[in-house]
Amino acid sequence: MLTHRNSAAQAPGRVVVLGARGFVAARLIARIDSEGIPCRPVPSTEVDLTAPSAVAKLTGMLRPGDALVITSALTPEHGRDRAVFLKNVAMIDHVCTTLSKTGCAHVVYVSSDSVYDSRFTQINEQTPCEANDLYALAHIVREKLLADACKSAGIPLAIVRPCAIYGSGDTHNSYGPNRFLKTAQTEGRIVLFGQGEEERDHVYIDDVIDIIRECLLHSSVGVINAVSGSALSFHAVACKIAAALDGTVAIETAPRRVPIFHKRFDPAVLLQAFPGYGATALDAGLQKMLAEFSDAGAAVPSRGSAQ
């Protein structure tokens, strides 16, 4: 559940964003800047959160009135092994040590829906957190460490758990809308595992930013899933992308790598916390992605060609 310390929206004095060059962070920073809210982006090139030296750097940077947004994490493309797990935990351990030294006014942690075990197909904020692998376990541990540190320091904490995020600027090329659109445009095809039967909730990047922004403005406390509330099969997603590209994309299949499992989210808590929230429909989100590619001059090669 999520509660608000500010009943009316109130901009924080300053927002410090860790992981400033990531997909979510870059979009959030642009939104904050556009609204005139003071922002301090912190990329990994400036502060390496995996290194113990991060504590001194962050301690000298944070102010008591700051809101701290944590988006930094080594995502699955970096690996799901023990070394990556330990680095992910070390990053948050160093943030927690910093909070014990200097504190701040509010913390928003961008977690992951991976904290929910695959045996749960109907998910809400009360669904137990159980790890399928070390990446999921890292997020569970990170949430627990932050909750303990913030409680000890008297800092309100909001944990945002996005489902699969799609949109232009994605840096992960994860299986789903981002990869499908990329390969559809560059190779003229979309490759599904099995028949693409699995149902997933895909949330547009700007919707996630809206939710984080609202948490900041209301100094929210608790847990919220950042979702659309609409689950579609990967095959349905592929068909929508093919239609958006005039139907000239081949949809192919490959052997399945993992067993079929579905993830469907109940958005009731999200809608109760933010009654004005309206998720972007996938068709509209895909059109926005295509428009942003065009506006940025990043139009990809004609479909059917390969690079």
The architecture (CATH level 2) of 2-165+203-226 comes to 3-Layer(aba) Sandwich (3.40)
Tell me what the mean pLDDT of segment 260-280 comes to. Answer: 94
Please give the backbone phi and psi of residue 106, each rounded to the nearest 5 degrees, phi first.
-165, 145
Crossing angle of helices 177-187 and 282-295, in 10° steps, is 50
CB distance 47 to 54 below 8 Å = yes
pTM summary value: 0.92
Domain spans of the chain?
Answer: 2-165+203-226, 167-200+231-261+281-295
224 strand-pairing partners: 160
Residue 87 token pair: 């680095």
User: Which tens digits make up the pLDDT trace of 174-227?
Assistant: 899 999 999 998 899 999 999 999 999 999 999 999 999 999 999 999 999 999
pLDDT at 297: 53
Same fold, 2-165+203-226 and 167-200+231-261+281-295: no
Cβ atoms of 202 and 164 closer than 8 Å: yes
Q: For residue 179, give both structure tokens.
A: 């990869």
- Report d(CA 237, CA 200) in Å as an integer: 10
Confidence of residue 301 (pLDDT cuts 50, 70, 90): very low
Confidence of residue 299 (pLDDT cuts 50, 70, 90): very low
CATH 3.40.190.100 fits 167-200+231-261+281-295, yes or no: no
CA distances from 50 to 46, 47, 85, 163, 306 (A): 12, 9, 11, 25, 38
Residue 222, Cα to own-chain centre: how many angstroms? 17
182 φ/ψ angles, rounded to the nearest 5 degrees: -65, -50
